[in-house]
Chains A and B, each alone.
Chain A
Amino acid sequence: MEKDIKLVVSSSPHILNYESTKSIMWTVSIFLLPATIFGVYAFGIYAAFIVLASILTSITTEVIILTIRKKAICIDDGSAFLTGLLVAMNMPPSVPLYIPIISSIFAIAIVKHAFGGLGQNWANPAVAARVFALFAWTKEMTTWSTPFITDSVTTATPLGASKVALVENFGIGHITSATASSGGVSASGPLEILRLVSPDVLKTDVTYFKLFFGLKAGCIGEISIFLLLIAAIYLIYRKIITLEVPFFFLGTIALSAWIFDGLKYGQGFYAGDPLFHLLTGGAVLGAFFCATDMVTTPLTVAGRIIFGIGAGLITILVRMFGGLPEGVSLAILFMNMLTPAIDRFIKITPLGYIKPKKG
């Protein structure tokens, strides 16, 4: 018998799940890389500089702030890397480099650490940074380039173009029952309207296929819906992201787009094009990877369902009535702010607990 074996004495349980904060952060990061690399491949090497700049700035800022706060440097947990990566994925492919750099500093220093660091932030740092950049440098943040064209030509995103084209070609931007027709042509939805204008604005014909596989203008990380969905499926299988938020987020977008979006084209109710709204803008990137951030979403399943529906409604409101073509990041930011309130009101009752009667 071993004479002097050393035994560890501790509180139960004595076995733990393999998943840790670190493994979660790095798994999400790694599974976001294919979509990012596709973005770099589509928009050229300059996009890679944007990605590198924001990741390096994020990590450097994290180290500096943790040093100032006299905390242990724990950049190996991957949260700074992930924030930097998400900031870059939400950048248009031709922004000047100072924008991702300042946005990353804003994300880490102001949104994350000013409120207490990991686990304490009130909003998703990457989303808040994107909204910050959008309002600080609106022109740069809405200048797009065409994928797979080397001499970067300025273009528009499908979502933006459909909005502009609707106003310019048909003189309507809001709900009207009048038939959207002009000069003998009529359009019954966003895809058709883009086909009418695309030779001028988008330099390419728009199909669902192209939208799905990323042959469209957009932010670096959001264009390849295909690669994002593959990553999302794996992360859901690993239980790193929960299905409630993305399902109800995208479901609400699709449902309300189907019900109301047709009004814009004079088609009445229940004639919208839900697929177009899901495949354009940052809907998939936002719903699966930004709105599922654990810190800033509600704790309970019911809370997360409310979060998802709320974010979906705000997105569609911005897309239909707002001045901006895209509303996903605004919607997530708004629901992030509502999260503490949701958690306050949605509570679980213990099993077999009967509320004592008042009095």
Chain B
Amino acid sequence: MLFEKTFGSNGVHPEDYKYLTCQKKIESAYVPNIAYVPIIQHIGSPAKIIVEIGQKVEEGQLIASAEGFVSVNVHSPIPGKIVGFEERYISIGRKSKVIVIELDGEFKKTGKTFTNVDYNNFSKEYILKAIRESGVVGLGGATFPTHVKLSIPDGKKADTLIINGTECEPFITCDHRLMLDRSEDLLDGVNIINKVIDAQNVYIGIESNKKDAIQKLKSLCKNKYKIKIIPLAVKYPQGDEKQLIKAITGRVVPVDKLPVDCGVVVLNVSSTIAIKEAVVYEKPLIDRVVTITGNGIVNPKNLKVKIGTLVKDLIEECGGLKPNVKKIIIGGPMMGFSQMNLETPITKGCSAVIALTDEDSKDFEQNAICISCGKCINACAFGLMPTILNKYIKNKLYEKALDSGLMFCKECGACSWVCPARIPLVQIFRMGKDISKKLILSKGK
């Protein structure tokens, strides 16, 4: 289609490499013998550990409970015994307390077939409570607590629900496979969410490089559901909440406001299916689909992985690494985090493990010179001028950088990707944001 919807004339088109895994059905990964479950798996305050060393836990048992409203429960992914607590680096590059569980006992949920119950009679409060207790977060990578997102403040009304099936990051195919392999669950999940927010317009936005998913969902929706499938042009960063809202509804969310202020709620495909599992099957979020891919992986796959499985086990299951691997990324190659070693546990926010080779991953220039080509300005979907921000930060003009919208940068990486001088723009902006925040704080005192 020539005139597919998209968010504007900005954005970039990185090579997507989806062909590595998009034809491969979701398989279940091996259950880990030892699961390392971090208590920080979401945005908000860390969960509080409620188990002791030596205690026996069942699969899906609550092991760390939410501290406050913006926090999320953590459940045991496997049946077993708590053998210890340790500090460990998690995928986002910071340390977290980790609960170590050794496999022991019987699986009560994994491998069992679930019976569908009629969710139409469930009340809004019941659904919200089930989501909250099951520890569902935004599984696209942002890991924002879903029950917070769905608790719409008094006086506000969401008239539009958008399910984010764009998956605009290269390499990742977990949402694509979920849309194909678990289409019914996805549509049920959408209906359950809509029982909470009661929106008139329900859309699933899918980038048109997933033609099979668009076809399948369209034919399923035809008679049964009032969900509209919106094919979108392939462009990064379309998966960003605000860009997706702009692409589908044309509404522009003000910089300091949330989507719900414009009457829109956006949820990811994986989260939607997790919501169905939580509400209908009463299954907490203890596993997720992870795409193990990249040109450095011998046999790339889409795996259903228990939270707490180590990256090295997953890589081993996919045939191991090729010799020319340079980086291991958790998340997408544009916004993900490069890992120091393979001992990182999978958390709720890990959508992919990507092994990049020397050819895939070029280096930034250390003494890069900006040639003012303006490509970054055309790339930035958030209307910023990265080259100008870069010059301000370089010259320590932080106030000017803030005036030019430094804080509105989402670090999507489009400007760095397109820069012919190979300037590490995102890195510079992160640094600039940190320093600016400190400056603001010191001024406040």
Footprint of B on A, CB under 8 Å?
Answer: 1-2, 5, 7-17, 19-21, 23-24, 72, 117-119, 239, 242, 294-295, 298-301, 304, 347-354
A16 touches B371 (CB 8 A): no
B420 touches A350 (CB 8 A): no
Contacts of A239 in B (CB 8 A): 375
B338 touches A15 (CB 8 A): no
Determine which of B371, B383, B413, B422 lies in contact with A350 in the assembled complex, contact meaning CB atoms within 8 Å: B383
Give B262 Cβ to nearest chain A Cβ, in Å: 9
Within 8 A of A (CB), among B307-342: 312, 315-316, 320-321, 325-329, 333-342
Q: CA–CA, A353 to B382, complex, Å?
A: 10
A interface secondary structure, majority: loop
What would 7 more interface pairs be, CB under 8 Å, given A10-B363, A119-B371? A1-B312, A7-B325, A17-B420, A24-B373, A119-B421, A294-B373, A299-B387
A11 to B428, CA, bound (A): 10
- Given that A1-B320, A7-B339, A350-B255 are contacting pairs, would A119 and B327 also be in contact in the complex, using a CB cutoff of 8 Å? no
- Residues from chain A with a CB closer than 8 A to the CB of B312 are 1
B364 & A10 in contact (Cβ 8 Å cutoff): yes
Contacts of B326 in A (CB 8 A): 7-8
Contact of A12 among B320, B334, B374 (CB under 8 A): B334
- Give the 8 A-B CB pairs with smallest separation, nearest first: A13-B413, A11-B427, A294-B373, A350-B405, A299-B374, A351-B383, A350-B383, A13-B334
B407 smallest CB distance to A (angstroms): 9
B370 smallest CB distance to A (angstroms): 5
- Closest B residue to A72 by beta carbon equals B367
**Which among B333, B367, B405 is the interface contact of A15 at CB below 8 angstroms?**
B333
Whether A14 contacts B420 in the complex (CB less than 8 A), given A119-B372, A350-B383, comes out as no
The answer to whether B172 has its CB under 8 Å from any CB of chain A is no
Query: In the complex, what residues of A have CB within 8 A of residue B15's CB?
Result: 15
**Contact A13 B242, CB 8 Å, known A2-B321, A7-B328, A24-B420:** no
CA distance A274 to B329 in the complex (A): 56
| Across-interface contacts of A352 in B (CB, < 8 A) | 242, 252-255, 257
* B377 adjacent to chain A (CB < 8 Å): yes
Q: How far is the CB of B400 from chain A (nearest CB, A)?
A: 12
Q: Assess whether B333 is in contact with A14, with CB atoms less than 8 Å apart.
A: yes
- Which residues of B lie under 8 Å from residue A1 when comparing CB positions? 312, 315-316, 320, 342
Q: How large is the interface on B (under 10, 10 to 19, 20 to 34, 35 or more residues)?
A: 35 or more
Main secondary structure of the interface of B (DSSP, over half): loop
Say which residue of A12, A13, A295 sits within 8 Å of B372 (CB atoms): A295
The contact sample of 26 A-B pairs, CB cut-off 8 A, is: A1-B312, A1-B315, A1-B342, A7-B325, A10-B338, A11-B427, A12-B334, A12-B337, A13-B333, A14-B361, A15-B170, A15-B360, A15-B417, A16-B416, A16-B417, A21-B369, A294-B374, A299-B387, A347-B385, A348-B385, A350-B405, A351-B255, A351-B382, A352-B253, A353-B255, A353-B383
**Do B417 and A350 touch across chains, with their CB atoms under 8 A apart?**
no
The residue of chain B having its C-beta at the shortest distance from the C-beta of A304 within the complex is B374
Question: Are the CB atoms of B384 and A348 closer together than 8 Å?
Answer: yes
In the assembly, what is the distance between CA of A16 and CA of B170, in Å?
A: 12
Q: B371's contact among A15, A294, A354, by CB below 8 Å, is which?
A: A294
A353 touches B408 (CB 8 A): yes
Query: Which of A5, A13, A72, A349 counts the most B-chain CB atoms under 10 A from its CB?
Result: A13
Please name all residues of chain B whose beta carbon is closer than 8 Å to the beta carbon of A117 when the two chains form the complex. Answer: 369
Question: Closest approach, in angstroms, between the C-beta of A241 and any C-beta of chain B?
Answer: 10
Check B424 against A11 for contact (C-beta < 8 Å).
yes
Cβ < 8 Å to A, chain B residues 372-427: 372-375, 377-378, 381-385, 387-388, 405, 408, 411, 413, 416-422, 424, 426-427
- Specify which chain B residues have a CB less than 8 angstroms from the CB of A300 in the assembled complex: 374, 377, 385
Q: Is the CB of B242 within 8 A of A351?
A: yes
**One of B335, B339, B419 near A9 (C-beta < 8 A):** B339
Q: Which B residues are CB-close (under 8 A) to A295?
A: 371-372
Contact of A119 among B334, B369, B377 (CB under 8 A): B369
Query: Contacting B356 at CB < 8 Å: which of A11, A15, A118, A347?
Result: A15
Separation of A72 and B329 alpha carbons in the complex (Å): 33
- Distance (whole angstroms) from the CB of B316 to the closest CB of chain A: 6
Q: How far is the CA of A354 from the CA of B320 in the complex (A)?
A: 51
A232–B390 alpha-carbon span in the complex (Å): 30
Q: Judge whether B329 and A14 touch: CB under 8 Å.
A: yes
Instruction: Chain A residues near B341: list those with CB within 8 A.
Output: 7
Residue of A nearest to B323 (CB): A2
B430 contacts A by Cβ under 8 Å: yes
Which listed residue (B325, B340, B381, B421) contacts A351, Cβ 8 A?
B381
Please, which residues of chain A bring their CB within 8 A of the CB of B408?
350-351, 353
Question: Is B374 touching A7 in the complex (CB atoms < 8 A)?
Answer: no
List of B residues within 8 angstroms of A298 by Cβ: 374
Whether A12 lies near B420 (C-beta < 8 A) is no
| Chain B residues positioned under 8 Å from A20 (CB to CB) | 420-422
Let me know if B378 and A301 touch, CB within 8 A: yes
B residues within 8 A CB of A11?
Answer: 424, 426-427, 430
Q: Is B14 interfacial (CB 8 A cutoff)?
A: yes
Closest-by-CB residue of A relative to B368 is A21
Residue in chain B with minimal CB distance to A239: B375
User: Across the interface, which residues of B come within 8 angstroms of A13, CB to CB?
Assistant: 333-335, 413, 416-417, 426
Interface: B94 (CB within 8 A): no
Q: Name the residue on B nearest A118 (C-beta).
A: B369
A226 → chain B closest CB, angstroms: 27
Chain B residues in 8 Å Cβ range of A294 = 371-374
Minimum C-beta distance from A202 to chain B (A): 40
Identify the closest chain B residue to A351 (Cβ).
Answer: B383
| Cβ-neighbour of B14 out of A2, A15, A119 (below 8 A) | A15
**B156 on the interface (CB 8 Å rule)?**
no
Contact of A14 among B356, B367, B375 (CB under 8 A): B356
With a 10 A CB-CB cut-off, give which of A8, A19, A72, A295 has the most chain B CB atoms: A8
B224 at the interface (CB under 8 A from A): no
* Contact residues in B for A242 (Cβ distance below 8 Å): 374
Please tell me if the beta carbons of A353 and B405 are within 8 angstroms of each other in the complex.
Answer: yes
Q: Closest CB of chain B to A290's CB: distance in Å?
A: 15
For the complex, is B445 an interface residue (Cβ under 8 Å from A)? no
Cα distance, A15 to B377, chains bound together (Å): 19
Q: Within 8 Å CB of A348, what residues of B?
A: 377, 383-385
| Chain A residues within an 8 Å CB radius of B372 | 119, 294-295, 299
